[in-house]
A and B are shown apart, each in its own frame.
Chain A
Amino acid sequence: MFRNNGGGFVVAEFAIALPLLILLMYGLATVGVESFWFGKRQLADYVLEAEAQSVMEQIRQAARTAREVEISPGGGWVKFVYHVVKDKPKIEVTSLNGHYVFINNDVLETQYFMLYAKSGRDAPNLYAERQDNHTPTNPITGENYFGDTQVNYLKCEVDEAKKILHISLEMESLVTLHKIKFDTAVYMPNYKAGG
């Protein structure tokens, strides 16, 4: 069959090249699969970090102007009452020449951050709510397409003398099981002890 010219050079070449090729392709396939697997885990870690950061920022924002902070004894929720000063244009009948009189209306807003595992899920997510709902509706973490997360704990502690809120948040990715923990503190100039 291979009796023609070359004295079996092609067969020898082929016999050496084929195992090498198989080895090379196997190695490439391994690296390729590993890289996709790595990518998937990295996306999940990224989601974890982004969610933890966004939660920290939301709590920081609410705490900065907080007037009252209420923390559930079990650590399930934290409630902030913060004030928003709103300028409301109003025509004062007795004002000179009908000029606008700006009245500072002290508007108090309430914000809850609560841990809640919705039915069919054993991992709790964090929900941001305006009222104490028993079935919260506004999740701010978890169930991301790129990687699900859970909140291990959200610890808030008020130092009343210093008017400082210490925040500790630990979150865990359900894909990589990596944990991330952030600690910070917020000074609350408007805080009134006891509400």
Chain B
Amino acid sequence: MSRIKSVLGNERGFMLLNVVFLTVITSLAAMILMNAAPRARNHQSTLRLTAIYLANEQFAELESLAAREDISGSQPFLGNKDDLTSNNLGANNPIEFKVTTTVSGGRAKVKVTWQVGDDEFKIEMERTIGIVQE
């Protein structure tokens, strides 16, 4: 105890204490910032979900169309055109989705792409289109 007192009793001891305090404060700051970093809002999961529902809409339309005519080849987006625009990123920032479809051998591939700022995102889904007969 007396040795600690004698170390802290002079200037060098005070500076040592300073270093210890600074280390503690810095690590505290780092902890708080690391906690805050992943909490920046990430809209991608919502937009991806929107895109998946859009792809499912296209699959439903393809299934319906397949019961009536041949759907092989590339197809335009057959669903509701208004559904291609989503405000899920924020009210003043609508996102446009693009849907491209190719059908071959009874299997449909749907690709949905969208752009946030300069970044492009996409999902690709595939499904076998069966024909339901009456």
**Which of B34-42, B99-107, B115-123 is the interface stretch?**
B34-42
Mostly, the B contact residues are helix
Residues on B with C-beta less than 8 A from A28 are 25, 28-29, 32
B57 touches which of A53, A180, A185 (Cβ 8 Å): A185
CA distance A13 to B18 in the complex (A): 10
Residues of A within 8 A of B53 (CB): 56, 182-184
B14 A182 Cβ-Cβ under 8 A = no
Partner-contacting stretch, out of A34-42, A114-122, A124-132: A34-42
> Are A35 and B36 also in contact (CB < 8 A) when A181-B86, A187-B64 are?
yes
**Complex alpha-carbon distance, A5 and B11, angstroms:** 9
How far, in angstroms, from A17 to B14 measured CA to CA in the complex?
Answer: 12
Q: Complex: how many Å from CA A184 to CA B29?
A: 45
Q: Contacts A10-B11, A162-B61, A186-B60; is A181 near B80 (CB within 8 Å)?
A: no
A13 and B14 form a contact (CB under 8 A): yes
* Chain B residues whose CB sits within 8 angstroms of the CB of A38 once the complex forms: 36, 39-40
Give the distance in Å from the alpha carbon of A168 to the alpha carbon of B64 in the complex.
19
Q: Which residue of B lies closest to A163 (CB)?
A: B64
- Secondary structure dominating the interface of A: helix
Interface size on B (CB < 8 Å)?
Answer: 37
Contact with A189, one of B14, B39, B132 (Cβ below 8 angstroms): B132
Q: Is B50 engaged at the interface, CB distance under 8 Å to the other chain?
A: yes
Contact A180 B88 (CB under 8 A): yes
In the complex, whether B113 has a CB less than 8 A from a CB of chain A is: no
CB of B45 closer than 8 Å to a CB of A = yes
- Does A193 reach chain B (CB closer than 8 Å)? no
Bits for A32-51, please: 1 = Cβ < 8 Å to B, else 0. 10110011001001000100
Taking a contact as CB atoms under 8 Å apart, the answer to whether A35 and B39 are in contact is yes
A31 within 8 A of B: yes
Q: Bound state CA distance, A142 and B4, in angstroms?
A: 59
A49 near B45 with CB under 8 A, answer: yes
Q: Quick check: B49 and A187 within 8 Å, CB to CB?
A: no
> Across the two chains, which residue of chain A brings its CB closest to B80?
A166
> How far, in Å, is B94 (CB) from chain A's closest CB?
11
Binding site for A on B (CB under 8 A): 10-11, 14, 18, 25, 28-29, 32-33, 35-36, 39-41, 45-46, 49-50, 53-54, 56-57, 59-61, 63-65, 79-80, 82-83, 86-88, 91, 132
6 smallest beta-carbon distances between A and B, as pairs: A35-B36, A189-B132, A183-B83, A184-B53, A185-B57, A187-B60
Q: Can you list 20 contacts pairing A with B, beta carbon distance less than 8 Å? A: A6-B11, A13-B18, A24-B29, A32-B32, A35-B32, A42-B41, A56-B53, A164-B64, A166-B80, A179-B87, A180-B88, A181-B87, A181-B88, A182-B53, A183-B80, A184-B53, A184-B57, A185-B60, A187-B63, A187-B64
Task: List 4 extra interface pairs beyond A179-B91, A181-B86, CB under 8 A.
Answer: A9-B11, A28-B32, A49-B49, A166-B79
